[in-house]
Amino acid sequence: MNIIETLRQAFAAATPEGGEPAAFAAAVRPSTDPKFGDYQANGCMGLAKALKKDPRELARVVAAAVDLAPLAGPPEVAGPGFLNVRLRDDWVAAALRDLLGDERLGLIPPERRKTVVIDYSSPNVAKPMHVGHVRSTVIGESLARIFTALGHEVIRDNHLGDWGSQFGMILWGWKNHRDEAAFAADPVGELARLYRLAQSKIQAGATEVEEAARVETAKLHEGDPENRALWERFMPHCLAALRGVYDRLGVAFDVQLGESFYDPSLADVVQDLEVKGIAVPSEGATVVFVEGMKAPLIVRKQDGAFNYATTDLATIQYREETWHPDEVLYVVDHRQGDHFKALFAVARRWGYGRADLEHVAFGTILGRDRKPFKTRDGDVVGLESLLDEAVAEARKVVDANSPDLDPEQRGRVAEVVGLGAIKYADLSQNRLSDYVFDWDKMLAMNGNTGAYLQYAYARIRSIFRKGDVTPESVRDRRPAIALSHPAERALGVQVLRLPETLELAAGELKPNILTDYLFDLANKFSTFFEECPVLKAESADRRDSRLALCDLTARTMKLGLQLLGIDVIDRM
């Protein structure tokens, strides 16, 4: 059950005459301080000003009219016109007891199931993935899991860069500087070397290399047998390398359609834009002028070649005609903001405006020097090496804190904690912000870190082991939940807020809303654990009640971390 949505519906029904129910309901929010209750309805102040009435008097009218049963009694008027809502303890206890037998922990399927396409990760396949792919991959995967948990149909689409100019550079490098033995030993490594070689020569001013690479790209696109054969030879190795990284990260896509998939339709896209008077010639190229944008969107270059914009338009067309999505989310670096503004505007003019197209932008990962995160040699950090380093750093923490675990167990814990640390450090940030990559902070066993939450989960599991009781047996008994201690009540209310948290995270496309919730949940459990003895409770009934709260907390924490793409372990 989504508590805040239920309260909003009640307040919408009690909106005073002259008010807008949707706006009045939207002013219902969780309280910032427990002394003000569990929720606050703050709509009376703004509405009173518009209606030229006294806000406290208006609040009294609403308090008398709104029906919050059985969740809560009449709200309390406070301050200049706030309405404080406190959930009834008996309702909270009954709702928690019901959750013991609910595998979905209160998540109810939506009245209308949306189809959401999420475009994320999207690496160039001929180059090893690097640290720059972390944010798109983990944010996109988390959003996919959150929308799925809420009951929507999600299509994960990895729009691979498998057809662009980087392949022209590789083809030039292969024909002029290849090392067959190196390719046999490490295909992707050799292809990456050839790409870097061509790129460095071009950056140094070798115009003949730049032109040769351009020719190789054009030949590939035109169906040259040699270049097509090489591309088909390279692709399986590239895809296998990507799959290894994704498997380790626990990421799986429903669709992986690269730029090559859309290549046959690009000419038709441009022709249709021209026929409809949307695309026009300009300085030898074909462009679309977009209102409010300084530069037009180029859909065919001066040399007749198509580009990313053309492919992106073909992709929008394909997705809408194939999947009929309600939303398409592009989880891409904020620096592409202007491109997507122009792209979406052109798509709508073209007639593909049914779906809500949204650029889910994110900031940059920085080193401690506040510059983009790189190795000491100035190279971009490779993703595989970063994951390896995360596990190695986590192993140091595990060895220091868990000497009772055997080496194999420590290795497993280090893998889970290390990868979880990278994901959580990223997802716990407001995605629009840059953040500093810091191993010490990421792997801290206290504070807002993945390791802290994983440890909180493991600590709950240890309670059941010490008590020689299984969570399943507690669920089967479905004991009555007692909330006489403030820490019990605070923990129980936090557990019940999972559905509204996930709805908010999905609505704002911000996984950090979920991380903040889980951190608060872990903190409330810590207070509960310190102040409310579980195994040594004063009675068997109170022991069972607190074991039930422990189980609900652990299940909520496990589900929440899973929705972030983070695993848990029973022992740390």
Total number of domains constituting the chain = 3
Mean pLDDT of the chain: 95
Residue 525, domain CATH: 1.10.730.10
Work out the average pLDDT over 350-357: 95
Q: Are residues 261 and 159 in the same domain?
A: yes
C-alpha to C-alpha distances, 120 to 128, 300, 331, nearest whole angstrom: 16, 25, 5
Confidence of residue 369 (pLDDT cuts 50, 70, 90): confident
Q: Are residues 334 and 451 in the same domain?
A: no
CATH of the domain at 269: 3.40.50.620
**Residue 379 — pLDDT band, cuts 50, 70, 90?**
low
| Residues 155 and 301 grouped into a single domain | yes
Within this chain, do residues 450 and 554 fall inside the same structural domain, yes or no? yes
Domain co-membership, 76 together with 130: no
Give yes or no: residues 432 and 361 share one domain. Answer: no
> Does 260 fall in a domain?
yes
- Specify the pTM: 0.95
Interatomic CA distance for residues 398 and 295, integer angstroms: 53
Segment 246-302, tens digit of pLDDT: 999 999 999 999 999 999 999 999 999 999 999 999 999 999 999 999 999 999 999
Structural domain contains residue 412: no
Residues 145-151, mean pLDDT to the nearest whole number: 98
pLDDT score for 371: 87
Q: Is 104 inside a domain boundary?
A: no
Domain around 288: 126-366
Residue range 116-122: mean pLDDT, rounded = 97
Using CB atoms within 10 A of its CB, is residue 168 exposed (0-12), middle (13-18) or buried (19+)?
buried
Residue 479 lies in a domain: yes
Residue 146 lies in a domain: yes
The answer on pLDDT for 378 being more than 70 is no
Per-residue pLDDT averaged across 217-235, rounded?
94
E strand or H helix that includes residue 308: helix 308-323
pLDDT band at 450 (very low <50, low <70, confident <90, very high): very high
One domain for residues 351 and 466: no
Residue 122, pLDDT above cutoff 70: yes
pLDDT for position 375:
60
> Is the pLDDT at 128 greater than 90, yes or no?
no
Same domain, 81 and 133: no
Asked if residue 331 lies in contact with residue 144, where contact means CB atoms within 8 angstroms, the answer is no
Instruction: Work out the average pLDDT over 371-385.
Output: 75
Residues 315 and 233 in one domain: yes
Alpha carbon distance 229, 223 (integer Å)? 10
Mean pLDDT of 537-565: 98
Task: Flag whether 386 is in a domain.
Answer: no
- Structure-block tokens of residue 278: 């949307």
| 348 part of a folded domain | yes
Tell whether 107 is covered by a domain: no
Q: Do residue 139 and residue 57 come from a single domain?
A: no
Domain end (from 366, 381, 399)? 366
- pLDDT for 551 equals 98
Tokens of 505: 């995270």
Question: Using one digit for the tens of pLDDT, what is the confidence trace for 27-78?
Answer: 999 998 888 999 999 999 999 999 999 999 999 999 999 999 999 999 999 9
Residue 377: the pLDDT is: 55
- Residues 183, 321: one domain? yes
Share of the chain above pLDDT 70, in %: 99
Question: How far is it, in rounded angstroms, from Cα 547 to Cα 471?
Answer: 8
Q: Report the alpha-carbon distance of residue 82 to residue 77 in Å, rounded.
A: 6
Which of 366, 396, 417 delimits the end of a domain?
366
User: In sequence order, what are the beta bridge partners of 106?
Assistant: none
Kindly state the average pLDDT of the residues 540-564: 98
Q: Of 479, 475, 413, 408, nearest to 445 (Cα)?
A: 413
| pLDDT(376) > 60 | no
CATH number of 48's domain: 3.30.1360.70
d(CA 129, CA 435): 20
Q: What is the pLDDT of residues 516-548, one digit of tens each?
A: 999 999 999 999 999 999 999 999 999 999 999
Query: What would the mean pLDDT of 484-512 be, rounded to a whole number?
Result: 98
For residue 280, the cross-strand partners are: 287
Instruction: Report the Cα 111 to chain-centroid distance in Å.
Output: 23
Last residue of a domain, one of 366, 399, 433: 366
- Residues 229 and 354 grouped into a single domain: yes
